[in-house]
């Protein structure tokens, strides 16, 4: 009986606690208000009229069309996927029958009288371009100008009173912000997708002049050239590329910052072409080990691996081994920050540049040249050993040095496990300097290694595959 009573009392007490807890729950829930996802309907309705569909046609040989659309890269443009090459016995391209191929893309209107921004790859090589408005009106477009380096093109249609996009600023974007894309994926007109900014200033292969906005917005073929909006309905980017294994969206989308895009557009409108600054340096990332070897507290800046002969950099006194910390008042946190800053800097005046050299900061002035194509080195011939590096080394032929535009160097022939391999050296590398001391022969390299500090990173400059770079070498 006592046991039964005790059990009842315990159950009553527990029930009472549960009731009190249940009563408290709504109060606590009210203390943390529910956060709702944003409503994109007004933004979509107001901004859809400024987005246009762009269809192009071009005449290609039947052999080209046969392989059109077969991807050979993971990082691909949304439209005009790279085609393959035909096999042996194929009819020469200029003799093969010509057929018309159509493609789709997107764009947005920036003026009432018919200027339209899109991607260069959307209209590249097109024979005819037709722009379709939100009201289904179709207009022939002509190319005012295009810039392949930034993948921006400016079109013009004959019209008046067109709705225009509100141009924002990509400089104000922050990681985590909501963004919206409107475009024509797979020809499905005025499709609206949304996501967040995943990263800023993203550098992609072969696109060093564009600090891309990375988002997880669903982007697919046909969105290319369309606008990326912020929540104020302002254009902050031009959708350009995706990273995909399948050709469809994988949540890795890349947009050209609108500040850069409009800089290009204004030059095209004013001059019919784009001029951009050329400093004349090859740069690489400052790793943690290299930062230590340069006496830096943390990795930062762009490490100059080589200066181009006769370039603005050489004339300004910039040297291999310098770390560029600031350019024209803008901080350089990583090597990929430098090209877009240089590319959009003025050409007609001397600009300040802050470098780190031998552990000390130094200010220089540089007057940029107009950009040109840079070229570099080749590999050479063999034969000798260095036990300090645990590598077989060899002298380099004078002709190879000339083509590489370097006065001296020693070639890495073979590597065994050891300091050189751990530093990242590879067969074929030409060692130019060790700890900023010139390596003119294998004998000289041996002497330098003998006197070099042990147990800490020292910088080694090598030339590899037509590029110059620094590696952190730790000798025991």
| Domain ranges within the chain, ordered by starting residue | 47-157, 166-271, 277-370, 385-474
Residues 6+ apart with CB under 8 A from 335: 283, 284, 285, 286, 301, 302, 303
Of 55, 103, 121, 322, the active-site residue reads 121
**Residue 184 or 107, more confident:** 107
448 contacts 437 by C-beta, under 8 angstroms: yes
Residue 104, pLDDT > 60, answer yes
The CATH code of domain 47-157 reads 2.40.10.10
Cα gap 154→190, rounded to integer Å: 21
Residue 121 known to be catalytic: yes
458 contacts 434 by C-beta, under 8 angstroms: yes
Which pLDDT value is given to residue 207? 61
194 known member of a binding site: no
**Residue 93 or 160, more confident:** 160
Residue 475, pLDDT > 80, answer yes
Residue 224 known to be catalytic: yes
Which residue, 468, 318, 322, is CA-closest to 406? Answer: 468
**Residue 360 or 416, more confident:** 360
Residue 362, pLDDT > 90, answer yes
Which residue's entry shows tokens 């409503």?
39
247 known member of a binding site: no
Q: What is the DSSP letter of 368?
A: P
Of 151, 189, 230, 337, the active-site residue reads 151
Among 26-30, 121-125, 154-158, 258-262, whose mean pLDDT is lowest? 26-30
Cα gap 418→388, rounded to integer Å: 8
Residue 67, pLDDT > 60, answer no
151 known member of a binding site: yes
Write out pLDDT tens, residues 384-434: 344 578 887 888 877 788 878 888 999 887 777 788 888 888 888 899 999
Q: 385-474 domain in CATH 2.30.42.10?
A: yes
Query: What average pLDDT is seen over the chain?
Result: 80
**Alpha-helix runs per DSSP H in 299-441:** 312-316, 338-343, 398-404, 419-423
Cα-based distances in Å from 108 to 134, 165, 176, 195: 11, 7, 25, 20
* Structural tokens at position 297: 């507290």
474 contacts 455 by C-beta, under 8 angstroms: yes
Residue 283, pLDDT > 60, answer yes
Superfamily of domain 277-370 in the CATH hierarchy: PDZ domain (2.30.42.10)
Which pLDDT value is given to residue 274? 87
Of 224, 320, 345, 468, the active-site residue reads 224
The CATH code of domain 166-271 reads 2.40.10.10
222 known member of a binding site: yes
Residues 6+ apart with CB under 8 A from 151: 119, 120, 121, 207, 210, 240, 256
Count of C-beta atoms within a 10 Å radius of residue 123: 24
- In DSSP terms, 282 is beta-bridged to 306
390 known member of a binding site: no
Work out the average pLDDT over 300-306: 91
Which pLDDT value is given to residue 326? 96
> Same CATH topology for 277-370 and 385-474?
yes
């Amino acid at each position: 009986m006592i046991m039964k009573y005790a059990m009842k009392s315990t159950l009553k007490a527990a029930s009472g606690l549960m009731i009190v807890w249940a009563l408290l729950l709504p109060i606590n829930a009210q203390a943390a208000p529910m956060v709702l996802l944003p409503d994109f309907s007004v933004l979509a309705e107001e901004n859809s009229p400024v987005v246009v569909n762009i269809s192009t046609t071009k005449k290609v040989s039947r052999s080209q069309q046969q392989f059109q659309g077969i991807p050979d890269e993971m990082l691909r443009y949304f439209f005009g996927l790279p085609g393959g090459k035909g096999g042996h016995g194929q009819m020469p391209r200029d003799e093969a029958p010509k057929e018309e191929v159509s493609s789709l893309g997107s764009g947005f209107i920036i003026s009432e009288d018919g200027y339209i921004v899109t991607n260069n790859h959307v209209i590249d090589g097109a024979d005819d371009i037709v722009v379709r408005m939100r009201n289904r009106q179709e207009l022939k477009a002509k190319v005012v100008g295009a810039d392949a380096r930034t993948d921006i093109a400016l079109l013009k249609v004959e019209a008046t009173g067109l709705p225009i996009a509100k141009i924002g600023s990509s400089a104000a974007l922050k990681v985590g912000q909501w963004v919206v894309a409107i475009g024509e994926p797979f020809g499905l007109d005025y499709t609206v997708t949304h996501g967040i900014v995943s990263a800023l200033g993203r550098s992609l292969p072969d696109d060093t002049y564009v600090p891309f906005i990375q988002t997880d917005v669903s982007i697919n073929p046909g969105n290319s050239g369309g606008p990326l909006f912020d929540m104020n309905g302002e254009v902050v980017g031009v959708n350009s590329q995706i990273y995909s294994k399948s050709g469809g969206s994988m949540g890795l989308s890349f947009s050209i910052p609108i500040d850069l895009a409009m800089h290009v557009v204004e030059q095209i409108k004013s001059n019919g072409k784009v001029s951009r600054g050329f400093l004349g340096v090859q740069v690489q990332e400052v790793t943690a080990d290299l930062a230590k070897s340069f006496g830096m507290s943390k990795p930062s800046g762009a490490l100059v691996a080589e200066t181009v002969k006769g370039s603005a950099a050489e004339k300004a006194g910039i040297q291999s081994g310098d770390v560029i910390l600031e350019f024209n008042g803008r901080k350089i946190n990583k090597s990929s920050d430098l090209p877009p800053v240089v590319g959009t800097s003025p050409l007609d005046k001397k600009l300040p540049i802050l470098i780190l050299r031998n552990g000390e900061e130094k200010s220089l002035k540089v007057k940029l040249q107009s950009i040109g194509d840079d070229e570099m080195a080749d590999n050479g011939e063999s034969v000798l050993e260095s036990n300090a590096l645990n590598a077989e080394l060899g002298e380099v032929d004078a002709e190879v040095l000339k083509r590489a535009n370097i006065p001296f160097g020693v070639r890495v022939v073979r590597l065994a496990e050891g300091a050189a391999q751990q530093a990242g050296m590879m067969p074929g590398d030409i060692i130019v300097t060790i700890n900023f001391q010139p390596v003119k022969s294998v004998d000289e390299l041996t002497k330098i290694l003998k006197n070099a500090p042990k147990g800490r990173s020292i910088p080694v400059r090598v030339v590899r595959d037509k590029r110059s770079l620094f590696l952190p070498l730790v000798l025991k």
